[in-house]
Amino acid sequence: MLPFDYIEWLLEHGADPLQPIQTQAIGNGQSSDTDVAERTCAHAVTFAIGATIRLQRWDTEEAGIEYVKGAKALNRRFLHLGLADACTCACSIEGCTLQVYQLKGLLDFRYADSNCLADPAHLSSSVTAYYEHFAATLSPGGHRDTIRFLTFSALGATHTCCFFNLMGCHYKVSPEDIEDVQDEEEAVLERLEQLVLYFEAELFALLKQWPDSPERLAEFWPGCWLPKMQEVLAELNGSDLSKEVKAGAEEAGVVWQESNSSPRVEEIDVYDERIWEHLMKKLDGIAPRK
């Protein structure tokens, strides 16, 4: 759990949240301090806030209330700074912002397994609880960042973010690999842009409707975002293809199977000697008996 009172004390006594995060890069027999993709101390703090919210590391309800209070205070200090790192990924517009870092901590983003974010129901549940406490600390840009990051993840698109954790490990995707991913997922990324525009219009309409109750924006995620994403994913998975598209696919040799049906399994009589003779011949072909 982050010591918020200590962080506040540091800030009040001249600590610079814009101080770049550095890591020890070792190579060619020499070591040097290297900035990590334009990340700052503010990135690390907001990531840790999100992670602690997810882990809920407090012993009592009172401690939880104090934690949320402290997190809100730091969010008000940091989230409006407009900082972004040097990532190139469609999950954010121009690098991952502090809001995106907090979401990565909240949602347990792991670069090696970015599919951990592909369940829209889990994403909706997590961000709904987050919005109930922290929606008031988000700027309009923070809402946009949240919509884009969650929608990108739910679509199953590939994250090409620079990744780091609080232990200092970091990883950066090469420009060539980023270009390959974006080319392969062009159709998904086009759909992402359409959905982002739709969701932004819906959320900001609610914000205009409830200007003094931003916590009510939590209703947007299970009420609007989740049903729409489930509809889109069903469509992308082929269950809502048009008759023309299905006919064309069938002409190409596609055989459709109901998603709730089980594949046909041929029953085998394990007591039939012919079966065992056949299997033994197969085994002899792989590893002949001496």
Checking if the pLDDT of 70 tops 90, the result is: no
- Cβ neighbours for 120, distance < 8 A, ≥ 6 positions apart: 154, 225, 226, 229, 230, 233
Query: Between the ranges 41-45, 53-57, 118-122, where is the mean pLDDT highest?
Result: 118-122
Instruction: Identify the band that residue 269 occupies on the pLDDT scale cut at 50, 70 and 90.
Output: very low
Nearest to 102 by CA among 57, 143, 61, 156: 143
Which of left, alpha, beta for 63 (phi over 0: left; psi -120 to 50: alpha)? alpha
Q: How many C-beta atoms lie closer than 10 Å to residue 150's C-beta?
A: 24
Residue by residue, DSSP assigns 152-201 as HHHTTPPP---EE-TTS-EE---HHHHHHHHHHTHHHHHHHHHHHHHHHH
- Reported residue count of the chain is 290
Nearest to 150 by CA among 208, 238, 228: 228
Q: What is the CA radius of gyration of the chain?
A: 25
For the chain, give every domain's residue range.
Answer: 4-241
E-strand stretches of 230-284: none
> Tens digits of per-residue pLDDT, 137-164?
999 999 999 999 999 999 988 888 876 5
Instruction: Identify the band that residue 113 occupies on the pLDDT scale cut at 50, 70 and 90.
Output: low
Nearest to 21 by CA among 53, 50, 46, 49: 46
What is the mean predicted confidence (pLDDT) over 63-77? 83
Entry pTM = 0.74
Separation CA 136–CA 76 (nearest Å): 9
Q: For position 255, what pLDDT does the model report? A: 46
Separation CA 117–CA 194 (nearest Å): 20
Query: Between the ranges 19-28, 165-174, 253-262, where is the mean pLDDT highest?
Result: 165-174
